[in-house]
Structure 1
Amino acid sequence: MPLTKPNQQLRRDFKSIAYNLEQHCIDLGRLASRLCDEDAIALMRLVGSHYEDIDTLAGYAREVKAGRIVRGKLD
């Protein structure tokens, strides 16, 4: 069954936010390579948590596509 326009937009939003987070992680990784070890490790921990969030958003996008998450009408 094809997605409704609101659900298509929801899926695009999840994918777009995940992509933006991934780009930020890449930039932060480059920055971490220029820091002292202790600061770099702390920054990479933050990057790791962002990658977990990226995986979560990608999972939500798949659930929207499968019809398990739907955007309803706002009251």
Structure 2
Amino acid sequence: MPLTKPNQELRRDLQGLASDLKWSAVELMRIAVRLSEAGNEPDAQAVIRICQVMQAGEDRLVGYGDEVKVGRIACTKSDPASYGGCG
């Protein structure tokens, strides 16, 4: 069964957010490397931990997008002040 337009938008948004998290984590890893090279290992390790949290969030968002695709998660009417894609 094809996705409804709101569900397509939700899946696209989830994929976009996951991509944004991935890009941000990659950039932060570059910063962590520079921190480490500059001798600031405690801050480098802190940034790496942030990246790990972001990567876990990325994985969850990708999973939610997959669940939208197969119909386990679907848009329903929402509060107008909340996410505008479902409603």
TM range (shorter): over 0.9
Q: Deviations over 1:19-58 (max 9, x none)?
A: 0010000100000111111110011001000000000000
Greater share of residues in helix: 1
Show the counterpart of 2:82.
Answer: none
Q: Which has the larger radius of gyration?
A: 2
Q: TM-score w.r.t. structure 2 length?
A: 0.83
Note the residue ranges of structure 1 that are not aligned, 5 or more in a row. Answer: none
Q: Aligned to 1:44, which of 48, 58, 70?
A: 48
| RMSD between aligned residues | 0.9
Q: Relative contact order (alpha carbons < 8 A, sep ≥ 6): 1 or 2 greater?
A: 1
Q: TM-score w.r.t. structure 1 length?
A: 0.96
Show the counterpart of 1:7.
Answer: 7
> Kindly tell me: are residues 33 and 71 of structure 1, through their superposed partners in 2, closer, same or farther at Cα, counting changes over 3 Å?
same
Task: Judge which range, 34-43 or 9-18, deviates more.
Answer: 34-43
C-alpha distance in 1 between matches for 2:78 and 2:56: 29
Kindly report structure 1 stretches of 4+ aligned residues shifted beyond 2 Å: none
Note the residue ranges of structure 2 that are not aligned, 5 or more in a row. Answer: 80-87
Alignment: residue pair count? 75
Show the counterpart of 1:28.
Answer: 28
